[in-house]
Amino acid sequence: MAARTARPGLYISVDIEADGPIPGPYSMISFGAAVAGRQDGASYTAADPEQLTFYRELRPISEEFVPEALAVSGLDRDRLLREGADPAVAMAEFRAWVREVSAGAQPVMCGYPASFDWTFLYWYLIRFGADSPFGHSGCLDMKTLYATKARVPLRAAVKGRMPRALLSRRPHTHHALDDAIEQAELMSNLMLWTPPAPEPVPAGEHSTC
């Protein structure tokens, strides 16, 4: 029986801004997404991350917030309470957008780091609509991708230690769409990067453990 061919993957960089550390007690107040590129087998094609994007500012879902977390985004909570998108509407629009841009491919959310952004994004997708276009595990962490390729511990996978050629020249503004676009460029650079081969260990210095 022939092996089933995997669908191409469409990588979507997502960045979220929140007013606290976890979803539910606290709110996702904005999120942005940008198509980073497409992988078909071993081939990866980078996209222009400004071409296919999505952005929404959301109405908070609770009265709780951490002032320091809210301040990072620079968004006005009172304005969001009046003008922010209804989360159910925004997530329905986002699902439709993901399915449109990923037609014929498997959408994969990617983030830097993915753990925080995926936690909020997946919780909102399920809480407000009970459906995720990424499934329950369709996320990729750029820090892990770099650590694996560079053969460094995860804690060393920080932008300040990465080769400059991997980094986007765009500023990190804490505006969710700006940062999603910036990190889409990092994602493509990582996918296309071939790190230098490790130096060989001299004879006689191999560990016997």
Please identify every residue annotated as catalytic: 174
Q: What is the CA radius of gyration of the chain?
A: 19
CB 142 within 8 A of CB 155: no
Upstream peptide bond of 113 is cis (omega within 30 degrees of 0): yes
Q: How many CB atoms lie within 10 A of CB 46?
A: 17
Query: Which amino acid is present at 21?
Result: P
Instruction: Give, for 34, the enclosing helix (H) or strand (E).
Output: strand 28-40
Task: Return the half-sphere exposure (C-beta side, CA atoms, 13 A cut-off) of residue 75.
Answer: 30
- Beta-bridge partners for 110: 13, 140
